[in-house]
Copies of this chain bind each other. A is one copy, B any other.
């Protein structure tokens, strides 16, 4: 029998006991759960990055996977824990926008406020809901507790700001950098499904002090030190430099503006 999977996405790092403690809690409640780390290396409080990385990974996980995401500057305050059902999978975390990109990809999603305190660890700390709320809720879910037992459906959860580019002229859109990956590639919010002509027509992408006019198919086909555009594995257009860091070369990071003109 396949074992349930719980994934973890946090800003806890791996040099403290936090992540391991959550894993201990999960396995104490659900001895057959397998736990897979998405990342714990988010900069503290970077909710948008968490949302992006999770949105890239979840489509590749099996049905019924439970994704726990804890980037939670408001821990201990009134923000609610939520349980999201989308794409046949589950998402558990604080109601602070961390599942924004899931909501925008999966139009059919259901959100519940988790209020059933019998699934929390007691006494409930005010500063470590990853351990006391989110991990145990996920563990109980993998043991077959139905979502409805955790709390009522809600409509007033935090909705995402659109992460899509804005049209600012007849052929011009202003976008942004969603993520900088380890290799220094700058992932824009121009998705190939939203901009199908990007792969067919001449274009100009202005970022930092440069304008890119070339679309490459692989990292290795561009000159060294030449920034090019690539439709990345995520479907988003990304600015890349062969065996170098586009982020460093262009001095750009998350949130930097990008202007695309398609002719």
Which residues 1-48 in A have Cβ within 8 Å of B in the complex? 2-3, 5, 7, 11-18, 20-21, 23-25, 27-28, 31-32, 34-42, 44-45
Pick out which of these stretches binds chain B: A123-131, A153-161, A195-203, A253-261: A123-131
Could you say how many copies of this chain the assembly holds?
3
Do A181 and B16 have beta carbons less than 8 Å apart? yes
Chain B residues closer than 8 Å to A24, beta-carbon distance: 36, 57-62, 65
Which residues from chain B contact A125 at a C-beta distance below 8 Å? Answer: 232-233
Contact of A38 among B17, B42, B60, B65 (CB under 8 A): B17
Residues of B within 8 A of A23 (CB): 36
Q: A16-B53, A74-B220 are in contact. List 14 more A-B contacts (CB 8 A).
A: A12-B182, A15-B42, A20-B37, A20-B39, A21-B56, A21-B57, A21-B60, A24-B60, A24-B62, A27-B36, A27-B62, A31-B62, A126-B217, A128-B233
Q: List 22 A-B contacts (CB under 8 A).
A: A2-B31, A3-B31, A11-B182, A13-B41, A13-B182, A14-B37, A15-B39, A15-B182, A16-B182, A17-B38, A20-B38, A20-B39, A20-B53, A34-B34, A44-B182, A44-B243, A73-B243, A74-B220, A75-B218, A76-B218, A127-B219, A128-B233
